[in-house]
Amino acid sequence: MLAAPRLIPLHLLGLVATALAVFLGLWQLEAWQAQRAAEARDLTSMTPVALDRVLAPDQAFPSEAVGRPVELSGAWLPEATFYVTGREDAGRDGVWAVTPVAVCEKPSACAGSSALLVVRGWSQSPDTAPAPPAGPVDVTGWLQPAEGSGRPDPDPADAVLPELRIADAIQRVDQDLYSAFLVAEAAKPPGGLAGLEPVTPGSLPDPGTGSGLRNLLYAVEWWVFGAFALFVWWRWGRDEVERSRRAATPVTAGAPGRDGEEG
């Protein structure tokens, strides 16, 4: 009965739904494993490469690029400078001074280019930090994914942020932003980093595990969907078999009929 032609499409639908759920679950599992592998690698000692070889302006941050040394040319955007609190240096609490750099080869082309947030260094407070730099610059540093644990900003109107979030920073910059930030190691001319304590690889923030964990949960979710599809198919098949058996069972002689009389 289950092999009847009218039921074949339903069987195929169950198989396709289950196979698709398994495939999507394996895909998310692979993404989770890639995230863990990327976090376990230390890229900070590698030779810097051009930023556009690692990250494009509209590209989501690749998990394998955490800590990757890159180099870029552009122009400082001093009016968009802000500070990130809760940063420690040798046991001292302070801030990061962050100034975006419009990424471009020629200063005349920087007006319409995307900008990358650059951590220039550490200071005890915004008041003690030197004035932000201006003009063209060549920067080398370590690429990091944007932060975002959801810490609230007590005063959105000031230039101090609790985290280095792209969503908060983009409100201060008139240009598009890359989905990452750069911890500066060196700059030419070096004046942009002067007066600040350098942020070293050892003090870089740990890469967030939220996205990797999310991939793992998505994998489990897809497999639950696949198991549910199998359960629905099994339950439907069982009901069809029972219905077919009842229809094929003859009415026993002497059993009450529909009108209450003996058959």
Same domain for 112 and 180, yes or no, is yes
Give the DSSP letter of residue 75: E
Tell me, yes or no, whether 86 lies in a domain: yes
Q: How many domains does the chain have?
A: 2
Tell me, yes or no, whether 248 lies in a domain: no
pLDDT number for residue 263 = 43
pLDDT per position as a tens digit, 147-191? 876 777 778 778 999 999 898 899 889 899 999 999 999 999 999
pLDDT number for residue 38 = 58
| Residue 22: Cβ-neighbour burial (10 angstroms; 0-12, 13-18, 19+) | middle
Same domain for 73 and 95, yes or no, is yes
Same domain for 109 and 224, yes or no, is no
Q: Which residues pair with 147 in a beta bridge?
A: none
Q: pTM for this structure?
A: 0.65
Q: How confident is the model at residue 112 (pLDDT cuts 50, 70, 90)?
A: confident
Question: Position 226: which residue type?
Answer: G
Tell me which residue range forms the domain holding 216.
1-44+206-229
Same domain for 215 and 180, yes or no, is no
**What are the two backbone dihedrals, phi and then psi, of residue 70, each rounded to the nearest 5 degrees?**
-135, 165
Nearest-angstrom CA–CA distance, 24 and 221: 10
Tell me, yes or no, whether 261 lies in a domain: no
Same domain for 63 and 116, yes or no, is yes
pLDDT number for residue 231 = 87
pLDDT per position as a tens digit, 16-69? 888 888 888 888 888 777 766 655 456 777 899 999 999 999 899 887 888 899
pLDDT number for residue 41 = 56
Same domain for 148 and 105, yes or no, is yes
Nearest-angstrom CA–CA distance, 231 and 228: 5
Is pLDDT of 97 > 90?
A: yes
pLDDT number for residue 104 = 94
Tell me, yes or no, whether 187 lies in a domain: yes
Same domain for 174 and 97, yes or no, is yes
Q: Is 74 helix (H, G, I), strand (E, B) or coil?
A: strand
- The better pLDDT of the pair 133, 259 is held by 133
pLDDT number for residue 53 = 95
Is pLDDT of 106 > 90?
A: no
Helix residue ranges, H only, the chain: 8-40, 166-169, 210-248
Same domain for 177 and 220, yes or no, is no
Same domain for 58 and 182, yes or no, is yes
Same domain for 13 and 131, yes or no, is no
Tell me, yes or no, whether 246 lies in a domain: no
Give the DSSP letter of residue 262: B
pLDDT per position as a tens digit, 227-261? 888 888 888 878 877 887 887 776 555 555 545 55
